[in-house]
Structure 1
């Protein structure tokens, strides 16, 4: 629990709250360590259990409008810092912190984290993580870049998240369609001008979250990814805890992740970094100026007893992390998708599976009767998830595979 010099709990201004299934546990963890006031783009409901006060702002009002609304909150009580865990709010939050004269992620670092081209430019120019990458704005330039780099390669929008518009291209005949998909990907309110054509990096990809404050970066969380829908890099789940990564990932990979976030100027947050171990050593896939999403806070706490929300509070307040954790268990999540476009009639009963002691939770994410579709038609087409636990990551991965097979998505 964090207190000011007078022994009072400190207050954080949180911008954006995300969706309940994915983020309520993270917000609750934060509320255990600081008083929270919330600036949200939608009226609050479930968030009221965790915040002291809230105001609604309209993102279309721009920075001045956000600042005016924020002042109605911060004028009521002293605020120690401004923070977010939402991808779409990273730049808005950084600009707001600067305008209020409060600690937060520096604006330049937040803007870089939302711009994959600027990330590549920085990582290449410093030699931290060299990767061939060309920013293009039209198909002829994109074709030239592809010929220069060679196949296989990656095509991705400059500024989106969640693998939106991203695809591996193995041969020239696939390229034009991949470029068109990247150009026309659903931006979901994010800015993205231009497309990156990049070399494809062979290897094992994983996530690491680094707590960053005052020039130091400390690995606090990591995960093995579960992939689906090749050649689209859809992260269909992840596993953390005992046995998740090997020695090279936890030494060379973690070191590269921490050096990268510091080089990017990221501060006062838990930064989510995607790393790939290649034959030439680790390489950065992407930097983010917020913690890992996709219900990560629940899985990390379940596996290791580490609370990402508490660590985010520590980072925002510029304090060293307390990261004592359990190292003898693992946990993971597998997201469930329909096989084709259909009406969602729920998940299979699978009574025997549901009775297994290692099944932590099974949940449906869509109301029954809705029309749903799998990636790549709908990149956000998850209809449910299953969480599993075990003594080792390999065992959890096997259990999630079994659960994925048993929990068929019903409907027609």
Structure 2
């Protein structure tokens, strides 16, 4: 270990990190990374389950409370002062506005409140992209069906209709033609009201090409690590579940350079000088186009496959940046790695999972992570946030081999619902 890495580890030990919320039924990676570094971890979340074993203190409070935002922020600030918090982080989109306001109040690293507000609102995000001259999708804010119809005609079919405040592909619906706008609007509106009690929607240009995640670690305005993970399957709609990612990318170096350049402009434009940044792009026939930007670690299991293929601890580095330390990031190419989620096609109660032993013996499988137990109620997109029952992880020497191994292993697994 380099001498400066040893110094950093000593400086981090016994620091206190605040985690705001913990999305999903099982996301221990962030907590494990903190424990590995000897960092004291405190959590703010209303309903705590598996997180208890990782936390020194817990404040049972919802950080999605936007109806009483000021009171929520005040309670979080008081808790931070009581716990002598040195850094704040979240993996949860809905918690970003609270994180930003608390960080500004206490002088901690984090996005500015104005930036967080823009990144949380898909319409404001698109407007900011346009102001910065960043490549994105045409988008129009709508509130009524008549406005949605007019926006779709103006943009041109196909279009995507989705809530301005949303996550996990919830309420995101494609309309190929005019006759499909009514149903897409109704579904997006219903889900938006359920998710955030907000009826604002956006009608957006549908972008062709594969979707990718572009992840960056930024310290002192310098990008220390930049990586693209591919979703190797086209998502033609009408809904958009994200089930598979492979890293490193299969796109040629010229395309990668263009995507990195767009992401760097985005990071600088939003003033993300000390952050872990997760961007979603479509690699279209006209070049990379930004879908979304988030000042948080990548979702689902992207950090795990980055660690496996490149030896980079994305969560650990994100923690160090949040605590004001410059992480030592030394990527070491080990081959390709990917994961594929197994999620229900229809809602129901999970009765059992079949085929796990056979899948575990499939070529290249290095882990199977089951996150839902029998008895869990499963929901599906677009009615709710995508809910995965388990993840299968595979590695191989080539990109195509990873993809084929993932398909083969997950084909052996089935979810029995009742």
TM normalised by structure 1 equals: 0.89
Match of 1:25 in 2: 29
Which of the residues 238, 252, 256 maps onto 2:258? 252
Contact 2:215 2:279 in 1 (8 A): yes
Moved more, 352-361 or 101-110: 352-361
Match of 2:19 in 1: 14
Distance 1:171 1:344, change over 3 A: same
Match of 2:270 in 1: 264
> Secondary structure, in 3 states, of the residue corresponding to 2:328?
coil
Match of 1:36 in 2: 40
> Secondary structure, in 3 states, of the residue corresponding to 1:300?
helix
Moved more, 293-302 or 138-147: 293-302
Match of 1:230 in 2: 237
Match of 1:163 in 2: 169
Distance 1:51 1:30 in 2: 10
Equivalence map 1:138-157=2 (5 Å): 138-157=144-163
Match of 2:407 in 1: 401
CA-to-partner distance for each residue in 1:51-84, whole Å, 9 max, x for gaps?
443322244453334433542443343x333222
Distance 1:336 1:181, change over 3 A: same
Residue 310 (structure 1) aligned with residue 320 (structure 2): no
Match of 1:91 in 2: 97
Distance 1:294 1:347 in 2: 20
Match of 2:306 in 1: 300
Moved more, 369-378 or 386-395: 369-378
Contact 1:81 1:103 in 2 (8 A): yes
Equivalence map 1:201-220=2 (5 Å): 201-220=207-226
Distance 2:184 2:25 in 1: 33
Indicate the RMSD between aligned Cα atoms, in angstroms. Answer: 2.8
Residue 57 (structure 1) aligned with residue 61 (structure 2): yes
TM normalised by structure 2 equals: 0.88
Match of 1:185 in 2: 191
CA-to-partner distance for each residue in 1:374-411, whole Å, 9 max, x for gaps?
44455434332222221222211111111222112224
Match of 1:117 in 2: 123
Distance 1:400 1:17 in 2: 27
- How far 1:312 moved relative to its partner? 0.5
CA-to-partner distance for each residue in 1:208-265, whole Å, 9 max, x for gaps?
1122333333443431115468321211121123x54431342110111121122123
Unaligned 5+ runs, structure 1: none
Distance 2:297 2:306 in 1: 12
Moved more, 274-283 or 344-353: 344-353
Contact 1:333 1:385 in 2 (8 A): yes
